[in-house]
A and B are shown apart, each in its own frame.
Chain A
C-alpha cells in the first residue's frame, strides 16, 4: 500500500508515471476505497495550499519605499560625512605645513615652501652632481 501511496503522490508531479505505473495505480484505485480516499484528500490538500493567499499588513509597499528612501538618504549622509572628514584633515595638514614654513623662514615665498631658501646655487649644483 505504501508503494501505491507513493505512486499516487508521484502522479501529480511532472514526468508523472510510466505507463506500467499508471496502469498499476488505476487498478489499485479501482480496487481500494482507502486509496481513493487518499486521492481525494491529496487533491483537497493541493487545492487548499494553492488557494492559500497570505498577505502582509496593509501599506506594505509604502513601508518598503520609505525604508529604501531612508537607507538611500542615510547612505548619502555617510558619504558626505566621510568626504568632510577627509577634506578637513587635508586642510588641517596644509595649514600646519604653512605655519611650519612661516616659523622656519618667516615668509611664504616659493623657495620657502619648497625648502630651498637656505640653499645657495653652489650647494644646489653640488647636490645635483652627487646624483
Chain B
C-alpha cells in the first residue's frame, strides 16, 4: 500500500468494521466525483442518480477488497465508469432516456445560468458514442492523465489518444457557439 493512500485505507477500514459515520464521510467526500462520472456519462437523469447510488452500494459490499493500492477516488471512479458503460448498453431507446431526463430535471432543479451551461455540456456529451464519451469524461472532466484514463478503461494509450482527438473535434463542432462566445 502506498503511503499516500494510507488515510483512504484507514477510513475504508473503519467503514468496513461497521462505522456508519466513516461510510457516510466517504459518500459525502466522493459524491461530487462520482456525480461527474455518472452524470457526464448518462446525463442528468434518474438513471444517473440510481447508478450513482449503485456505485456506493457496490463499494459498501466490497469494501474489504480495497487495499489502498490506488486513491479511493480512483477506485470509486473505476466502479462508476463501469456501471455507467453497462447502463448505456442497457438503454433501450433514446426516447426513454429523454423522458427520464425531463422528469428528473422538472423535479426541483433550479433555473440558473450554470444549469444551462451544464445542460449544454451534457447534451454535447450525449452526442458522443460511449467509448468516446468515457475518455472525455475521465480525461477532460475528471482530469485524469491520459495514462490514468487508459488504465481505468483498460485500453491501450494509443486508443485513448485517438478517441480523445476525435471526441474533441466533435465537441468543438457541437459547442462552437459557446466556445467562441
Contact = CB atoms under 8 A, between A and B. Distances in A.
Interface of A: 5-6, 9-10, 13-15, 38, 41-42, 44-46, 48-50, 52-57, 60-61, 63-65, 67-68, 71
Given A52-B141, A53-B32, A67 B53 contact: yes
B24 A55 contact: no
Given A13-B146, A41-B179, A60-B49, 17 more contacts: A5-B169, A9-B165, A9-B168, A45-B140, A48-B121, A52-B40, A52-B117, A53-B32, A54-B35, A54-B40, A55-B32, A57-B107, A60-B31, A61-B31, A64-B57, A67-B57, A68-B23
A42 B172 contact: yes
| Residues of B in contact with A, size category | 35 or more
B146 A54 contact: no
Interface string B146-172: 110000000000000100110011011
A6 B166 CA distance: 9
Contacts of A45: 140, 168, 171-172, 175, 179
A63 B143 CA distance: 28
20 contacts: A10-B161, A13-B164, A41-B172, A41-B180, A45-B172, A48-B179, A52-B36, A54-B36, A54-B122, A56-B48, A57-B109, A60-B27, A61-B27, A61-B28, A64-B27, A64-B56, A65-B23, A65-B24, A68-B60, A71-B57
Interface of A is mostly: helix
Interface of B: 20, 23-24, 27-28, 31-32, 35-36, 39-40, 44, 48-49, 52-53, 56-57, 60, 107-109, 117-118, 121-122, 136, 140-141, 143, 145-147, 161, 164-165, 168-169, 171-172, 175-176, 178-180
Contacts of B52: 56, 60
Contacts of A10: 161, 165
B176 A41 contact: yes
A5 B53 CA distance: 40
